[in-house]
Structure formats: C-alpha cells, structure tokens
Chains A and B, each alone.
Chain A
Amino acid sequence: MTRILATADGEFRIALRNRWVAIALVLMAVFSLVLSLAGSAPSGGLGADRLSVTVASLTSLAVYLVPLLALLMSFDAVAGEVERGTLPLLLTYPVSRAEVLLGKCLAHVAILALAVASGYGLAAAVTFAFDDRSVAGLPALWRLGWSSVALGATFLGAGYAVSALARRPSGAAGMAVGLWLGLVVLYDLALLAAVVADNGGWFTTEAFPVALLANPADAFRLFNLAASGASGVSAGVGGAASVIPVWQSVLPVLLWPVAAMSLAVLAFRRVSP
C-alpha cells in the first residue's frame, strides 16, 4: 500500500506540474457552467426540477469529456516511461507492475474526482441560485458524480492498456484517440444505423440493450438517465434508458473499471524493458 501511495503521490505532482490538474479542472468547470446556464431554457414545461434537468445535460457532457480527459492523462503512463528510459530502473525496485499502475490510477482518479466535483459543484450552485426546488435533483447529481469517476477509471485503465500495447507515446496517443472515437462516438452511430436498418426486429429488441450495456460510455449514460428518471428530457440513444432496469445498467458501470484495469495490468506485464 505504501508503494501504491508513493507512486500516486509522485504521479500527482507530475500531473500538477504538467498542468493536467489545471486543465481538467478548468475544462469541467467551464463546460458544466455553460450547460447549467444554457441548458435550462427548454426545461420550462417539463415539470422537473432544474437540477435534474442539468444532471441530464451534464450526463451528455460527461460521456464525451470524462473519457477524453482520462485517455489524455493515461496514454503516456507506460509508453512515456519506456521512451524516457525510466522503466527499467523502476522495475528493479521491489514494486509489482500492478502496484505501479494502481498508483498511477489512484493519482489520475483523484484528479478526475477533483475536476468532476468542482465542475458539477459549480453547476449545482448555479442551478440552486435559480430554482430552490433543486434539492430533488441532488441524488441524481451524486449518482452522476460517482459514476463519472467510475467512467473515468474505466478509460484510465483502457488508456494504460493502450499505452502498454503501443510502447511509444505517439502510437499510444493515436490509439487513445481511436479508442475514444470508437467507443464514445462511432459505436453509438453504428448502433443507431443498425437499429434503423433493423426496423424494429430482433436486433432492436434483443441485441440493442445488450450492446448498449457492453459499452462503458453507453452503460454510464443509461444508468444515469434511467436512475434519475430524466430520460424524458433527453433524446436519441438515451431513450433506451426506460427499457433497461437500473440494476442492469449499474453493473457495467461498476465492473468496467475493474475489467479495464485488469486488462491494463495484463498488457503491462507483457512489456519487456
């Protein structure tokens, strides 16, 4: 545990110096603030409290931004050590590869949690200023907060795995961008296309919900929309939230971080210094 904490401490300092902490905090704060100010206009007639509506908007934001931030912080984790030539020395220390990755992950998760807390906190503060019924939306905000961190942890793990597989920072960066595009953008488009082509057949009723839950980003979206009951205010793929029970969507949200970190450790073990 001391070794994990020591690694995390070092990583946090590095992230602080490299401005990653500042970048993550500012990005989340700015986007959350914009959403909470601008996203309120269409909610008037829906009857939901303003915070619940903001949470629905923040969910759509987080699904893009949190994975991106996580991948940006993690793609260099192993490949960077290989390129700088710091890996061989590190691996002669009495510390396991899993401990190294967990230490890095702990620091990066802490940064994401800080960014999420400050961004959502700001959004909530703004919302409360306009609507005092917003208390009703607090559970949804809390859920969004922790599941955003879990989503971030999943993509951190994915980023470490990519970093270990690529072994060069440039290659890892390319793979990370590809992963983000694939899982966060193209996956949904492909599903949408399949649903349209299927026209209400087997794919739409049986495969589609499973396919949504299999993708950590979609599972995150479904979990938040289904749990908050705010699916009425979001359109598109989010509409599926009404057919999938909450317990089914919370499982992938919790399991994906573990699976991604395990994958990362396996990939890291194969790196020969």
Chain B
Amino acid sequence: MTSTLTISRLTKRFEDVAALTDVSVSVAAGERVALLGHNGAGKSTMMKIILGLIPASEGRVEVCGAAPGSREARRQVAYLPENAAFHPALTGEEQLRLYLRLRGENPRQALPLLERVGLHAAAKRRIGTYSKGMRQRVGLAQALIGHPRLLVLDEPTSGLDPVSRRDFYALLDALAADGASILLSSHALTEVEARTDRILILSEGRKVAEGSLADLRRSADLPVALNVTPRNGYASEIAASLPGAIEVGGLLHLTCSQSEKLAVFGRIAGLGTKVADLEVLPPSLEDIYSHFSGRHGQ
C-alpha cells in the first residue's frame, strides 16, 4: 500500500540552527499520527515543510505522490494552523464560502460544514466577535473542505474545552475511517492518548520515539508503582516481606520494573488476607512523554 506522506531523512536548517535533523516518517492512508514535542522541537517546521510553505534543506518529502507545495499536493492536503486566524471583518459563512471557492467546491456547503463543527448559530456573525475556540472550529471546518487525503493539524485541540475536544476526535475518527491520513501535533500525550494509531516524539529536531502508545510504554520500561494497604497490625510484617517498600501514612509504597512486576504481584498475593487492598499505578502518560522528550538526541 502506498503511503500518503513519505518523509525520508529530512533536515532543515535556519542559517546555523538545525530545526530538524534526519527525520524519516511515513503515514499511510487512514492512519492517524500524533507528532509530540516541546515548543521548538520542530513540529511546526516539519508541518510547514510538508505543506510546502518552506523548503527542506535536505531529504525527500512526498505528499500524495507529488512535491510538497505543488498544486497537485495542495489540492489534496488540508491544513489547520496553530491559532487559526481569519479576517475579522468577514462572517464565518463568508470566510468558508471563500475557502470553498478557492478549492473549486460549491460555496453552498459553507453552512453544512459550519453545522458539522457546531458553529451553525454563529455563521452570520463576524469572525472578529468569535472566541478562540470558535475560530479553531472555523479552522477545522475549512480543513474538512473537499475530502482531503491528508490533514495536517497544528495543535488542533488547543483552546477547545474537553467536550469539544471529544467531538473533534470523533470527527477525525470518521475522516480516518474514510481513508484520510491525519498528522496532528500536540504538547501533551494525554490529549492524543487513545485517539491516534501512532505517536512520534520529536526532541530538538530529532525523532526520539515512534510507535503506538503500547510500544512506547514497553520501550520506555518505566517502573510500576504499587500501593499496598495492610490489614490492621500486619504493616511491619508485610514490609519485611516486600523489600524496598516504604510506609507512608499507613500505606506501603513500592516500585518495581516492568519485568519484576508479576513476581512482586505473586509475592503480594501470597500474603493472603494480611493485605486489605492493592493499587497498581502504571507510569503516567506524562512520565512516558518526558522520558522520551527529555532525552536529547543521541
């Protein structure tokens, strides 16, 4: 199967500063890929290169079988910029009609599109009166024009409340199910968690991790935290049989590596009724993210 987006050994330098170094990615049709990284990690630069807004210094980028920025590529790629901005004097409907006509689509689709992103009621109001979240929805509506094969979304959920965020991901799921590829960037792993097929972490312009959340979890190999609640009077006995356990406020707290995990569970189960409760805390998404993004490219 041919991929919608192929990037091989992409490098981008701004004068002496390397914004991206030797990054290779490929996104297949219908795949949702999240691009994670700190501010300045190179996410937006990579997106601008994919869109053809700025040229690459080295490497090869192919978008829907065409060169980035070529008319052929632009026809099939939709973009949602970070902090989507529009002319404040136009109404939401007028702005979308303009975008529809620029893509050669019927401008009558403007209202249905606005309805799809929940902006129908504000369609006749000027964008200057919109909130940040509403502008973001206009941005999303324009990205849906004309069944794009690749959607490039730069921090699409910033400024959206949790409910709108869920609606937004539901829209993406439908698009991906129709075969559109989606590349979206985010600051936080918690945001993209279950809604993407693959996660790519950039740090200082280098790709430091790539895979599904389960892959990342496995390769990060971060310790698991356990909280054991002893029955009254058994605290010290349990502590003795679980080396490394620390008593904090009546609870026994211990950590173990992924590989020791099952052995430790077995030992706790062996304590029988002396244990009132067991709580397992897997490494949080933030822990995994900072594990990768904090490690500087080697």
Contact = CB atoms under 8 A, between A and B. Distances in A.
Interface stretch (A37-45, A83-91, A132-140): A83-91
Chain A interface category by residue count: 20 to 34
Interface in B79-122: 79, 81, 83-90, 94-95, 98-99, 101-104
Contact of B51 (A10, A92, A272): A92
Which secondary structure dominates chain A's binding surface? helix
Contacts of B90: 10, 13-14, 17
Interface stretch (A1-9, A49-57, A66-74, A217-225): A1-9
Nearest to A9: B98
B48 interface: yes
A199 interface: no
A124 B154 CA distance: 56
A14 B89 contact: yes
B53 interface: yes
A106 B25 CA distance: 42
A78 to B, nearest CB: 13
Contact of B85 (A85, A91, A92, A94): A85
Interface stretch (B69-77, B207-215, B221-229, B265-273): B69-77
Given A10-B90, A14-B89, A94 B53 contact: no
A13 B101 CA distance: 15
Given A85-B83, A89-B81, A2 B104 contact: yes
Given A89-B79, A92-B51, A94-B74, A84 B85 contact: yes
A214 interface: no
A13 B53 contact: no
A92 B104 contact: no
A88 B94 CA distance: 19
B148 to A, nearest CB: 10
Contact of A273 (B53, B95, B103): B53
A247 interface: no
B101 A94 contact: no
Nearest to A90: B102
A7 B101 CA distance: 9
Nearest to A86: B85
A13 B89 contact: yes
Interface in A144-178: none
B280 interface: no
A202 interface: no
Contacts of B51: 88, 92
A84 B87 contact: yes
Please classify the interface of chain B as helix (H, G, I), strand (E, B), loop, or mixed, using the class held by over half of its residues: mixed
A14 B127 CA distance: 12
Given A13-B94, A86-B87, A88-B48, A3 B77 contact: no
Contacts of B139: 89
A196 interface: no
A95 interface: yes
B246 interface: no
Contacts of B101: 2-3, 5-6, 9
B54 interface: yes
A155 to B, nearest CB: 23
Contacts of A85: 81, 83, 85
Interface string A3-28: 10111011001100110000000000
Contacts of A94: 71, 74-75, 102-104
Given A85-B81, A94-B74, A18 B89 contact: yes
Contacts of B95: 10
B102 A89 contact: no
A85 B135 CA distance: 13
A14 B77 contact: no
B81 A88 contact: yes
Contacts of A18: 89
A86 B95 CA distance: 12
A94 B85 CA distance: 19
Contacts of B84: 89
A91 to B, nearest CB: 6
A272 to B, nearest CB: 6
Interface string B138-151: 01001000000000
Given A9-B98, A10-B94, A10-B98, A86 B53 contact: no
Nearest to A83: B85
Contact of B98 (A6, A84, A88, A91): A6
A86 B86 contact: yes
19 contacts: A3-B102, A5-B101, A6-B102, A9-B98, A9-B101, A10-B90, A13-B90, A17-B90, A84-B86, A85-B83, A85-B85, A86-B86, A91-B53, A92-B77, A92-B78, A92-B79, A94-B74, A95-B102, A272-B54
Interface of A: 2-3, 5-7, 9-10, 13-14, 17-18, 84-86, 88-89, 91-96, 272-273
A-B complex: 7 closest residue pairs judged by Cβ atoms: A6-B101, A17-B89, A85-B85, A92-B79, A10-B98, A94-B74, A94-B75
Given A92-B53, A93-B102, 19 more contacts: A2-B101, A3-B101, A5-B101, A7-B98, A7-B102, A10-B87, A10-B95, A14-B90, A84-B86, A85-B83, A86-B85, A88-B53, A89-B84, A89-B85, A91-B53, A92-B74, A93-B74, A93-B99, A93-B103
